[in-house]
Structure 1
Amino acid sequence: MGVRPTPRALEMAGHVQTALAQVNAAIAPKEIDITTIDRTIVLDIGGGYDALIMPRLMEEVTKCAPGLRLLVSNTRGADLLNELKYGETELALDFQPSNAEGIRCDLLSRDGAVVVARHSHPALNSGLTKDLYLKLPHAKLVWNRSSTASAVVFELDRLGLKPPVVASLPTFTALGGVVASSNLIATVPAIVARILQSWFRLEQYPLPFRLPPLALYQLWHARLDDNAGHRWLRQTIKNICAGPAEAKPLKWIAR
């Protein structure tokens, strides 16, 4: 015959189970009505990905969370992790993951790179070779003054490929406009190229060499794991990056 709990132990076990249930209920994520959220979230979306994400994100915010305000900046670099740590930035997109203490990292997409050039580029009638790629003048994307490498530039540098760069621009829209009105070419993620082609009169060319897929991550501090508005925002951005790139025409851009 084994040891059996006493009536007092059984009574105490019931109280303990009740207390544990109350604690779990108190700390469990609360499902709230997203339409009632009234707050501002600071985002860091560099590398031109604002052109991909923000139009569709604002559609979802307007429809589902009208009280949510988004403040978008572009810092990237050594200060980004500190800004996430101290709450100055609440969600950041970057092409490099982070294993810093307290920082969460979620892969959003992996995409190949392509070359874009203006329609009927005089040097590309016979296609794009590696030698021609390294000879033609380029426009490149920069995140900011203190961090000059975008995902594409980072990979090109890693391979020792250094095409001549004559224009460094902070956004994909600026880059697309420059390429469309000059003989410069640019290397961009394929998903971004599709958007630029819908905005500008550009042609797309495959890279004449192998480049690893370009990753995009979202980063945030662990304290925001269970914040309802933040969770909704992270999932919405993930859905946008997982779906097809649908760009709306920019009527103010002359063709």
Structure 2
Amino acid sequence: MQLDLNLLAALDALLEEGSVAGAAERLHVTAPAMSRSLGRIRRTTGDQILVRTGRTMTPTPYAIAVREQVHELLQQVQGVLAPNRELDLTTLERTFTLRWHDSLVALSGPALLAAVREQAPGVRLRFIAESSIDTPELRRGEVDLEANANRPTAPDIRADRVAETQHVIVVRQGHPLTRGKAVTAARYAAAEHITVSRRGRLTNTLDDALARLGLTRRVVATAPTEGTAFEFVRGSDLLVTVPESTTRPTAAVLGLALLPLPFELPSAAVYLSWHQRYDTDPAHAWLRDLARTALAPRPELTPG
């Protein structure tokens, strides 16, 4: 049997108003149209629903028994189909999975979690590590939000550029580059480097920029995260080149020195990405707004 949800609305109105005319006025239809709906409801349920007693109509025992259930069902249907559903953060219970670059988790994760817990204590965040290969979790709905330097190219993935920063050189205190003459592109290239790459890549845009200057550098190792690279840098004359905004807080704690890059390099961008299925999801939109705020550059970290 094929059900017409319009009959549910008509039945709710009939039971609430107790008359065909009142139900018709409530739903902004004509009285004959409502009479036809009542006839269809009677045929579907096998019950008279409303019976005439003098000048009024009285609900049948069956109608009285199902009145509250009909009203609740109609509210549930309207809640599912409503284009703009109200979001009650105080009762929201949901777990979001976020795959962010490790430095972004360290820098912005605590602020995001604090904001989430203040507004929606029933929400949990799962920060997971980036993979060494491209994975389709965003498309499969296994990851809710990504944040890293990669701008997605797939048409069904949305992306906002939420921050950008310049690159800096990170070395230990007392490193040869911190002494004597100013750091030049040649001195920079002559030093030994460690790169940050979850895929273990030995080259990146830095090498392209140096090549335009007729220079090459020697990369002796790669590390999967910035935090790991810093541990190599702390105890050696290696240097690592990383985005400044995500680096400065950790470098200060570890007692590392930051030096300006002696040649031009495009700024490092941060993209917040999600699948288009979540465009109109109120809870996801709320989390995206909080994430944008958490990932935005902080005044104290902005160069200048």
TM category, shorter: 0.7 to 0.9
CA distance in 1, matches of 2:148, 2:228: 20
Partner of 1:26: 81
Correspondence for 1:36: 91
The 3 A distance-change label for structure 1 pair 78 and 170 is: closer
User: Which residue of 165, 172, 176 corresponds with 1:122?
Assistant: 176
Distance 1:94 1:123, change over 3 A: closer
The CA distance in 2 between the partners of 1:158 and 1:23, in whole Å, is 57
Cα displacement (A) at 1:78? 5.9
Q: Work out whether residues 110 and 216 of structure 1, in 8 Å CA contact, stay in contact via their aligned partners in 2.
A: yes
TM-superposed deviation, 1:191: 0.4
With the length of structure 1 as denominator, give the TM-score of the two structures. 0.76
TM-score w.r.t. structure 2 length? 0.65
Q: Relative to structure 1, is the Cα distance of residues 245 and 68 closer, same or farther in structure 2, using a 3 angstrom cutoff?
A: farther
Task: Give the conservation status (yes or no) of the 8 Å contact 2:104–2:295.
Answer: no
CA deviation string 1:43-82 (max 9, x = no partner): 11126322222122222223222222222223457633x2
Which residue, out of 198, 208, 211, partners 2:252? 198
SS at match of 2:241: strand
Distance 1:170 1:73 in 2: 14
Choose from 200, 220, 225 the match for 2:274.
220
Q: Secondary structure at the match of 2:134?
A: helix
Distance 1:52 1:25, change over 3 A: same
Q: Is the 1:136–1:185 contact (alpha carbons within 8 Å) kept by the matching residues of 2?
A: yes
- Quick one: distance in 2 between partners of 1:195 and 1:245? 13
SS at match of 2:168: strand
Superposed, 1:9-88 pairs within 5 Å as 26-46=81-101, 48-76=103-131, 79-80=134-135, 82-88=136-142
C-alpha contact 1:95 1:217 (8 A) present in aligned 2: yes
Structure 2 unaligned spans of 5+: 1-24, 30-76
For residue 156 of structure 1, what is the aligned residue in structure 2?
A: 206
Q: What are the superposed Cα offsets for residues 208-246 of structure 1, whole Å, 9 maximum, x if unpaired?
A: 110011111011111111223321221111112224177
Cα displacement string for residues 104-140 of structure 1 (whole angstroms, at most 9, x for unaligned residues): 1111112111111111213430232111211211222
Equivalence for 1:137? 192
Distance 1:246 1:35, change over 3 A: farther
Higher Rg: 2
Identity %: 31
Distance 1:185 1:164 in 2: 11
The answer to whether the 8 Å contact 2:163/2:297 transfers is no
1:211 aligns with 2:257: no
> Greater RCO between the two (CA within 8 Å, min separation 6)?
1
Match of 1:113 in 2: 167
Contact 1:47 1:141 in 2 (8 A): no
Distance in 1 (CA, whole Å) between partners of 2:141 and 2:266 is: 33
Unaligned 5+ residue runs, structure 1? Answer: 1-10, 16-21, 248-255
Instruction: After TM superposition, give the deviation of residue 25 of structure 1 in Å.
Output: 9.5
Read off the aligned partner of 2:205 and give its amino acid letter. Answer: E
**Matched letter for residue 94 of structure 2:** R
